[in-house]
Structure 1
Amino acid sequence: MKDLKKEDIKQEVFDLYDDYAHNKLNRRQFVEKLSLYAVGGVTISSLLSFMSPDYVNSLLVKPDDPTLNSGFITYESPKGGGTIKGLLSQPKDSTTKVPGVIVVHENRGLNPYIEDVGRRTAKEGFISLAPDALSPLGGYPGNDDDGRTMQKERNQQEMLEDFIAAYHYLKNHENCDGNVGVVGFCFGGWISNMMAVRIPELGAAVPYYGRQPEAEDAVKIKAPLLLQYAELDTRVNAGWPAFEEILKAENITYTAYMYPEVNHGFHNNTTPRYDKAAATLSWKRTIAFFKEHLK
């Protein structure tokens, strides 16, 4: 069996994975279409394994990092019923209150990658909260396939309310200085855009490859935006020109980057869609943006 490398994978396979990850294909359809690319010593099982997330070997900040206080909290869900669980992470030895950042997961719940991003954010001197929108259904189930299925059962607007509630929880936390921003990925990118629509006092929003708000919502944005897009992500990018027109017309503060020759999900270091150069640069820009605006 051939040992796969990213350069061995055709762009069509990444596009198929994107359709699968966004519920346009079920697993059976994904495997059937993937079989067309199982040639030249490449098997279906090796392709599936290569495209699947590797959470075990991808953590950049360990859960027990000695410089952080990181653990789960709960807060009330205003629409979904019950409580929302979230990972709260903060610098251990900070003697002053610090700005806060909400970290919003993709369309599969609070998986280890997003927990890690929450801790990465705290390592930069922020207090971060990474909620799990699957909490009313029992929480992230331990794998992304079931997580995607579960998340489809929740109403998007109700989940948005849960993340808005997370903003208020963090803003009022005893260790937060009241300045709060949001960063989100994929579904979380849309949530980040919509939090900018819904929360006039939001300090900053950084949507990664997030679906854009409707025009009637976009005009309500007050928060500065840092928009991170992937050049090969034609699905999300289709909405960008119209969104940019509104941002310009309404004099909304924004900076947008289109990272060349990378796929949707390029920041996620657990799958081969990851692009180290783009992920590193975009994260450096994200942290600098928060340090500029959350003060």
Structure 2
Amino acid sequence: MGSRGRGTVRIRLPLRPARLRSRPQTGASRLRCVMRSFRELSAQRGRGFDELESARTWLAGRPDCTGRVGVIGFCSGGGFALLAAAQSDYAAAAVNYGMAPKDATEALTGICPVVASYGGRDTSLRGAAARLQEALTRPDVPHDVREYPDAGHGFLNRHKPLRIARIIARAGFRQKAADDA
């Protein structure tokens, strides 16, 4: 948690369970964590959503907070941010290469304004930007959904992604898309 001195209070929630955060993550534990996250995203409920709601409630109740809380997420965290924004009282959501649910129009009923960024070369999320755009346009939700044609998954992240992610999702940092997003 921290504050930048401009009225912004923030908290970062890792998606890894607390019992695993102090241990080095192996390939097997990383896979279990990813699979659990995707199960929760598919069910649209679970520990990740519970922790987001607890953090939102805690932040909104702080004396140095106006009560307006936003949510931001990257990759599977983007999917959590998108769905949580529809399930609770958020002022805005920033979704970066987050999975849009198949039933997006229904699942996102009542959502706050959304800014979302996707990579056009990301084969793992093919069609997600268009599906989200359509789901937010029909009910007239304020939104800015962009798909950057030359970018893949993780284009905002300045780290070297796993080889499998570079192959399947065309993952990796893209300066031009990151500057615009």
Structure 1 partner of 2:142: 253
Matched, 1:90 2:8: no
Question: Does structure 1 conserve the Cα–Cα contact (< 8 Å) formed by 2:87 and 2:111?
Answer: no
Which one of 254, 261, 266 corresponds to residue 155 of structure 2? 266
Q: Using the alignment, how far apart are the partners of 1:241 and 1:281 within structure 2? A: 18
SS at match of 2:71: strand
Question: Does structure 2 conserve the Cα–Cα contact (< 8 Å) formed by 1:133 and 1:162?
Answer: no
Give 1:225's aligned amino acid: V
Q: Using the alignment, how far apart are the partners of 2:32 and 2:12 within structure 1? A: 18
Identity of aligned pairs, percent? 22
Name the structure with the higher strand share: 1
Give 1:176's aligned amino acid: C
Mapping for residues 4-83 of structure 1, pairs under 5 Å: none
Q: Deviations over 1:262-292 (max 9, x none)?
A: 110011101161112322332xxxxxxxxxx
- Report the RMSD for the aligned CA atoms in angstroms: 2.3
Structure 2 partner of 1:148: 30
Which portions of structure 1, spanning 4 or more consecutive aligned residues, are displaced by more than 6 angstroms? none
Which one of 94, 102, 107 corresponds to residue 217 of structure 1? 107
Q: Using the alignment, how far apart are the partners of 2:60 and 2:32 within structure 1? A: 29
The TM-score with structure 1 as length reference comes to 0.50
5+ residue gaps, structure 1? 1-87, 99-125, 283-295
5+ residue gaps, structure 2? 162-171
Give 1:168's aligned amino acid: T
Give 1:90's aligned amino acid: S
**Count, aligned residues:** 162
Q: Using the alignment, how far apart are the partners of 2:96 and 2:16 within structure 1? A: 20
Deviation at 1:146, TM superposition (A): 5.3
Q: Using the alignment, how far apart are the partners of 2:113 and 2:159 within structure 1? A: 29
Matched, 1:161 2:50: yes
The TM-score with structure 2 as length reference comes to 0.78
